[in-house]
Structure 1
Amino acid sequence: MTTSSTKIISKILLYVVIIGGAFLMLVPFAWMVATSFKAPSEVSSWPPVWTTKNAANSFTFKTQIKQKSTSASVDLATLSLSEFRNFAALMEESVSFDTLSVNLNDDPIRRGEIEIQLLGRDGAPANYASQVDEQLFAELVDRYSAIKDNVPDAHAKSLRDLPVEDAGRFLDGFFNTAVYSDGGFVKRVVLVSSLRAQYSRAIERLSQSVETAMKELPIDTDATKEMKARIREESAVLLEGPVAALAKSMESLESYRTGTTGVTELSELKRIVADLRSSTDEIRKAVSEIIALSEEVSAGDARMSLSVRQLERSLESIPDGLVQWSDLLDLYSDIKVFYNESQNANLSGSSIVGRIRTDAEVHALLSQFIESWNVERELKDYLLSAINPSNVRSAVTIFLDYLDRDFKNSLSQYFTNTQTPLEVVNDAMNFLRTSLLVAANPELDRKVRSAMDQNTTYADLVALLREVASSAGQTIGVGGIVANLDRQANISGQEPFADFIRRRWKETSMVGTFSKVHSDIFSELDLSIKPVEVERVYYRGIISPSGAKSFDIKLAGIHAVWLKDDVPAGKANFTFAETFKNFFQNYVSAWNAAPFGRYYFNTVFVAMVTTFVEIIFAAMAAFAFAKMDFFGKNLLFTLFLATMMVPGEVLLVPNYITLTALGWVDSYYALIVPWVVSVFAIFLLRQHFMTIPNELYDAAMIDGLSKWRFLWTILVPLSKPAVITGALLKFVGSWNSFLWVLIVTKSPEIRTLPVGLQNFSSATGSDYHLLMAAATFSIIPVVILFLITQKYFIAGIARSGLK
């Protein structure tokens, strides 16, 4: 191989190594930037991809019909602190029976056009019952009424008082217990576990009943003992068959534990019910034979009569549990058949298409409501001026803050500390409203509203609060509420405090009204296509970036239960402008998730000040070590360099103690002063200064130039690459400082960007898409700075090593 060929191969290998190294260094950065554009579900997807649906002009999203009925539609996780303190005022009524809720089991959709399809299992538009067979429904209700007090204990409470006046309400309540809830009794796992326990209990009781009733007692005669022994022996023989049959039925249940769906099929239930009834017959047959045997053996013996009666009572109750389950499952099967066969009509169309309202559109509609709202003009003017398109999502918080300020102003006439009585009254209102919801007593509700509209005395208000608490079963909690109210009433006087209570009730009622209107305006989709059976669609949860999201479909005279067995499908479509916003949404969300504007200012300010001051100090020290002669110069410089071997973590505690003594913790002094001197910067500049000829320094001195002017007018300009290198290293180090800033700062007003990034990490996990977006816009200034100054950086490092 020739020398030229060797050089070519060497160059190729060198280029490969350089390009490969650059690629390996750039891939993590590229992945960070790619992640910053992804949707939350794409961050943890496997295998990982570089693309994102946020760049698509349309995508499908996962949906699931919310089958279980709930008591309230407030997601407490989405509330601000002010809203949480007044959460009872935000409690809406439960979703009505003509509203179908479709959960969004996917990433939040912030804008664009939403298309929801309601399809049957066959792909046709969803079907429902336009009318039901009232006679058949009445027969099912009669069967339910006959067994509702004799059902398995685990489901007795939820099945006891179902509404029977309407087929839709009855079916929804029954299926809520049977299917929709996590512990639904026809869920495969629940059903198999429950029936296995029931079979096992029956087997155990069959054996124990005879042993217990025929147990030998000290007072028994030999004849009695002999009769009991005979009954035990012959009963054991009689029970062998039934026990084996029960054990076989119990084992056969395992085949029903898994299936294509989580709910047991009707054909499977039919076989299970047949096994239950067969097992019941086996038990009853064995029981009758054992009782006959006992009566025959005892032959009227007075001593045995008590034991025989005890045995009879014990044995006859054994099959009761199996009978309860067979009757309940048989009823469910017939109700399910009735439900399926009653759905005789299809929706006029399967597609519902609507557009999400923009903040500007919501603000315009909300302003119209405020203008027509029957409240004081002063409140209207404040809300109209304070709420704008940029903060309309926080309109409820703005309203609450206004009411709280006004309420505190009134409290200040009687209280020095107005926060405490405000919280006490808010707690009382939350307790009262939630107790009314739990009590579900219309008469009591009217009584409370009437009392709040009149000049009810404080004593009567407290008595009414206790009455409501008693009706709701909250007698334990009401004691603390009343005690807190009494303490505040003793300060202001009872009657003025009664006025405050009545006033706060009215204000919380206003908050509830405003919150519902605000939520409806924000959530309602502007529909362009819909079946005639659909009135409106609300996209619940869109106001807040967190919390559950769902589509509430308001139906026209159709009970939602008829559509809960159908299959929804969803698709989102976007314009070019909306796609562009989606693509950069993570950056907007990350910026708004914390005061990053303040973090940016703090970071730039601290980095620039520490860099500027460090260069001044480093240049002066480097000049002394490079150009001046004084006793112990080299020893002192060696000591300076030795400090670089001390780990920075060792200095954290003494530095913190010093700053605490000076009172500088949580201030800019703590972020700047400890880091304005850098031994490395002194070393870097000294090495560069030493490359400049001493003759230049001597000539300047001859010309009458002072050391100060020589340093700043000649030496530093000639050392621009080294100075810029030191400044860049210091700026980057200060920009990326995390641990020290975390230790010495407490308030967000002082913290910097690296510490601000921890807002996206918690004990429950990290929002990596937002974290990567925040990290990306945090490092962009440093990257730009390096690109601008890289030639000086390279020159400064290179020249500092010259002699």
Structure 2
Amino acid sequence: MRKTIFSLFVYLLITAGAALMLLPFAWMVSTSFKTRSEVETWPPKWTSKNFSRTWDVKVKLSRSSAGGIDWKGLTLREALVLSRTEESGNILSIQIDDDPVYRGTMVLSLSDNFSYLAGKLDDSQFKEFSQRLLQRDLPEQIGKLISSSKNAEEFFSNFFAMYLYGSEAILDRRNYISQLEKTIETSLNQAETFERYSNRLPEEYKQEYIEMISDGKKLLNERLSELSILKKGSVAILQTDEISMIDKSLKNTLNILQSNELFENLKDNALMRLYKARVISPVEDLLNLIEVYTFVREYFKSVQIQKADTRQIVFSFLSKKEKDQLLKEYLSMEHFSADVEKIIQFQMNQSTESLPENVEKLLDERLYEEFKSLPIENIRVYIQQLKQVLSSLSGILSDMKISSLDQFESYEKMLEFFEDLSLNQTAQIALEKLGNLSKVISKDVFWKMAVILYDNVQQIAKLRKIYSQVQNSMKLLQAPDFVKNVRLKQNQTIEIELNNVHPVYLEDDNYTLRVNFSFAEMLANIFHNYVTAWKSAPFGVYYINTAFVSTVTTILEVIIAAMAAYAFALMNFPGKNLIFALFLGTMMIPGEVLLVPNFITISKLGWIDTYYALIIPWVVSVFAIFLMRQHFLTLPRELQDAARIDGCSHFRFLWTVVVPISKPVVITSALLKFVGSWNAFLWVLIVTNKDKFRTLPVGLQTFSSDVGTIYNQLMAAATFSILPVIVLFLFTQKYFIRGIARTGLK
């Protein structure tokens, strides 16, 4: 019985130890399926929403719509051009404040009491509202806003931006409550100062004055404690109920502070007027900010009288075929030069993927070919420099409605045009560089090249805009009448193109987003990190390099180690034991000490960025020699004697007798070497600079940078990187265990 209990305890201990050892690997695999936000969530969870068929996604309104351009994908040159030419339309921009959405059917729901205003607010209505607003005691910035706004929509947009958006928003809870705390504390300090001036009042009012200040201080302290709690909240902006609470609290406070009979009796007293100005008026100013916002918001709500025919906007992702068809339609509606049109059609027949970049490359190649006979050392570099300079000047040209340099007769005419303008430093430097480039070749050839280049830049920018709009376009399945189109930019910004509705009339609603996935889409979500990680770097090349280097290194090491071990175990020669001791001594030298001399040697041989550097230094392993020697010593001497009698050479005896019967230890040595070579990082990083020769462990650093680490993709890459090693170990574990167990036994 006691023996059974002991055995059970041992088994439980072994099971717990195995589970503990497997825990990091299990956590790595679990993390590889998670989204970015789930990795950063505390406390951590083993599960992931990627295994769910429905996501509830957090969203917030964004006021940074850019008219549908994918700015992240633009070069500096194209950004400079498009920033001047793009016109923003009626776009409602909603930011996904959650993990990006890459697939599925998205359902954007409006609130139950949703309403909006079709068209624009009548000018007469806005004028009447403005007059009513100006009759109030307005903060200075609001008065300026009314006078500078051309229409109601511009005023409402800027007003709500001032109050609700950005880190400096008036109703940002930290900003407003901090200002409230500071104001009340200042009023309390002022009240303490005023306590000392009671002797300036008639005798019959002194006691009442002291009591008034004492009660006022007590009331202000209570309000400070009551409202300071609002500094903490789940959202940055104060909510409607919180604003109402502040409004009610401050009004009650001011009513109580000013309801004292002393104010009425001494309303002309200088001390009481000063008390009101120093203690009460600052609190009134804060309340006024709230009251102005409430007044404008209530009017803003009152003019929104239309109701939506449906309160859901349902849209899904377009297939590649649908995107290609839409791209053809968009391109057919735009005008390109004949040459560019031909290149676009040619590239469309090949593939629509990265169309603007591929068209630009073809245009550049044609330009290189046309001007390759010029007496310039590197025509490619020269053309790229000229493109960069023209891009710097494109902003000014676009502002002046100049779409082509053909509008100038010559280079000199263009310079005259710029002389009449007040240029910033960047433009002046660009003109200087342009002048230097023009001196390299004749003015006529230079001008011809500049005209072609500028036209190419303009047309590629136009093509990129169209391509970006198509790639971001979504299939609209259900929507209210005012929704014209929906785009999803960077998988995180929903842009709703509106029809006859200004976006400001939709920005006051609360939106909720739900994403539904089919079974196939759910599987795509589960393995999304693996696909993304694989595409983040040339992991196909890394896999081939790693497998090749590991296999070749392992084979060469086994051959060399087997021959050396045989010599040390079964052959006699002078100094054998001393040499073997020296071999073992090298194992005491840390590998890091050898990095510099090995690198110098490899550099001298010219092996940097070659397979030689990855293989040759690591084909000899003293540990493998030691492991095989210890096993070879256990072999019966009669085998060697019989082989000698039969005339067998050392070489033949080694490979036909010794190695086959030593299979476990040979496989163990090979497995240890293969795993070590597969996981090698530092040496590969040092001796390689190109992806062509790098291996998987070095490729994993793709997901780490100065700004942080993408842990979910890193874990996915690590998982598919070590998978071959795990599979190999599962098939060879019996040899591995047998080889370790039998080494050194007689």
TM range (shorter): 0.7 to 0.9
Q: Return the offset for 1:164.
A: 2.5
In the alignment, which of 593, 607, 630 is matched to residue 550 of structure 2? 607
Distance 1:598 1:181 in 2: 45
Pairing 1:58–2:81 present:
no
1:537 alignment partner AA: V
Q: CA–CA distance in 2 between the matches of 1:670 and 1:500?
A: 46
Match of 1:562 in 2: 505
Instruction: Report the Cα distance in structure 2 between the residues aligned to 1:753 and 1:388, rounded to whole angstroms.
Output: 36
State the partner residue of 2:73.
Answer: 79
Structure 2 residue aligned with 1:183: 168
Whether 1:139 aligns to 2:128 is yes
Q: Which residue of 2 aligns with 1:114?
A: 106
Report the counterpart of residue 44 of structure 1 in structure 2.
40
Q: How does 1:713-752 map to 2 (within 5 A)?
A: 713-752=656-695
Contact 1:126 1:347 in 2 (8 A): yes
> Which SS does the other structure have where 1:449 is aligned?
coil
Equivalents in 2 of 1:185, 1:286: separation in Å? 36
Q: Counterpart of 1:79 in structure 2: which amino acid?
A: G
Aligned partners of 2:286 and 2:12: how far apart in 1? Answer: 74
State the distance in 2 between where 1:780 and 1:332 align. 60
Q: Which residue of 2 aligns with 1:29?
A: 25
| Alignment correspondent of 2:196 | none
Aligned match of 2:361: 401
Change (3 A) 1:677 1:385: farther
| Cα distance, 1:70–1:555 mapped onto 2, change above 3 Å | closer
Q: TM-score, normalised by structure 2?
A: 0.85
Question: Distance in 2 between the 1:185 and 1:51 partners?
Answer: 40
Instruction: Go from structure 1 to structure 2 and tell me whether the alpha carbon gap of 1:266 and 1:460 turns closer, same or farther (over 3 Å shift).
Output: farther
Aligned pair 1:126/2:114, yes or no? yes
Tell whether 2:169 aligns with 1:163. no
- Corresponding residue to 1:265 among 238, 243, 256: 243
Following the alignment from structure 2 to structure 1, what is the Cα–Cα distance between the partners of residues 328 and 66? 31
Deviates more, 1:5-14 or 1:521-530: 5-14
- Aligned amino acid, residue 695 of structure 1: E
**2:312 partner letter:** S
1:189–1:744 Cα change, 3 Å: same
TM-superposition CA deviations, 1:95-153 (whole Å, max 9, x none): 8463211111121221221111121xxxx1521124757544213334678999x9557
Residue 459 of structure 1 deviates from its aligned partner by: 3.5
Kept in 1: contact 2:312–2:479 (CA 8 A): yes
Which of 775, 779, 786 in structure 1 is aligned with 2:718? 775
Determine if contact 1:43/1:769 at 8 Å carries over to the other structure.
Answer: yes
Question: Could you tell me which residue of structure 2 aligns to residue 348 of structure 1?
Answer: 309
Q: Alpha carbons of 1:449 and 1:684: their partners in 2 closer, same or farther (altered >3 Å)?
A: same
Q: 1:452-487: per-residue Cα shift (whole Å, max 9, x none)?
A: 3424432443454566664xxxx2322222211111
Distance in 2 separating the partners of 1:481 and 1:278: 67
> Is 1:9 the equivalent of 2:9?
no
Distance in 1 (alpha carbons) for counterparts of 2:266 and 2:391: 59
TM-score normalised over the length of structure 1? 0.79
Q: Which moved more, 1:585-594 or 1:358-367?
A: 358-367
Distance 2:573 2:632 in 1: 17
Alignment of 1:368-387 (within 5 A): 368-370=329-331, 374-376=335-337, 379-386=340-347
Contact 1:97 1:169 in 2 (8 A): no
Q: Unpaired segments of 5 or more residues in structure 1?
A: 209-232, 294-315, 437-443, 543-548
Q: Report the Cα offset of residue 7 of structure 1.
A: 2.8
- Inter-CA distance 87–277: structure 2 relative to 1 (3 Å threshold): farther
The yes-or-no answer on 1:452 pairing with 2:412 is no
Deviation at 1:351, TM superposition (A): 1.0
Please tell me the residue identity of whatever aligns with 2:326: L
Give the partner amino acid of 1:401: K
Task: Tell me the SS of whatever aligns to 1:491.
Answer: coil
Cα separation, partners in 2 of 1:753 and 1:27, compared to 1, 3 Å: same
TM-superposed CA distance for 1:75, in Å, is 5.9
1:305-362 deviation per Cα after TM superposition (whole angstroms, max 9, x unaligned): xxxxxxxxxxx99999999988776544432221021122221111111120123432
Bigger shift: residues 51-60 or 774-783: 51-60
Q: Is 1:507 aligned to 2:460, yes or no? A: no
List per-residue Cα deviations over 1:47-72 (Å, max 9, x = no partner): 43333222222222111122x35566
RMSD: 4.3
- Following superposition, the deviation at residue 757 of structure 1 comes to 0.5
Deviation, structure 1 residue 186? 3.7
Task: Tell me the distance in 1 between the aligned counterparts of 2:257 and 2:429.
Answer: 55
Rate the CA distance shift 1:581–1:183 in 2: closer, same or farther, 3 A. same
Q: 1:174 to 1:464 in 2, by over 3 A?
A: farther
3-state SS of paired residue (1:579)? helix
* Secondary structure in structure 1 of the residue aligned to 2:691: coil
Q: Tell me, yes or no, if the aligned pair for 1:611 and 1:727 is still in contact at 8 Å.
A: yes
List per-residue Cα deviations over 1:372-421 (Å, max 9, x = no partner): 754356544544554589x7553333233333434444554363334554
Partner of 1:310: none
2:65/2:92 contact within 8 Å kept:
no
**Counterpart amino acid of residue 48 in structure 2:** T
Once the two structures are superposed, what CA deviation does each residue of 1:258-305 show, in whole Å capped at 9, x if it has no partner? 54772372674587699899999999x9999769x9xxxxxxxxxxxx
**Separation in structure 1 between the aligned mates of residue 359 and residue 219 of structure 2, nearest angstrom:** 63
Distance 1:421 1:271, change over 3 A: farther
Equivalent pair of 2:115/2:305 in contact (CA under 8 Å)? yes
Moved more, 614-623 or 654-663: 654-663
Cα pair 1:435 1:469 within 8 Å, conserved: no
What SS is found at the alignment partner of 1:127?
A: coil
1:704 and 1:717, CA in 2 relative to 1: closer, same or farther beyond 3 A? same
Query: What is the count of residue pairs matched by the alignment?
Result: 727
Amino acid at match of 2:99: D
Contact 1:618-1:682 at 8 Å conserved across structures: yes
Q: Which residue of 1 aligns with 2:531?
A: 588
Distance 2:173 2:727 in 1: 61
Letter of the 2:150 counterpart: V
Mapped contact 2:190–2:278 kept (Cα < 8 A): no
Q: Which runs of 5+ in 2 are unaligned?
A: 194-198
Alignment of 1:658-669 (within 5 A): 658-669=601-612
Q: Tell me the distance in 1 between the aligned counterparts of 2:258 and 2:455.
A: 61
Instruction: Indicate the residue corresponding to 2:96 in structure 1.
Output: 104
Query: Retained in 2: the 8 A contact 1:188–1:257?
Result: no
**Offset at residue 567 of structure 1 (A):** 1.1
Q: Does residue 1:518 correspond to 2:467, yes or no?
A: yes
Instruction: State the one-letter code of the partner of 2:405.
Output: M
Alpha-carbon offset, residue 652 of structure 1: 1.6
* 1:715 to 1:196, Cα distance in 2 relative to 1, 3 A: closer
Per-residue Cα deviation, 1:419-478 (whole angstroms, up to 9, x for no partner): 554444444444345557xxxxxxx83x342663424432443454566664xxxx2322
- Report SS of the residue matched to 1:782: helix
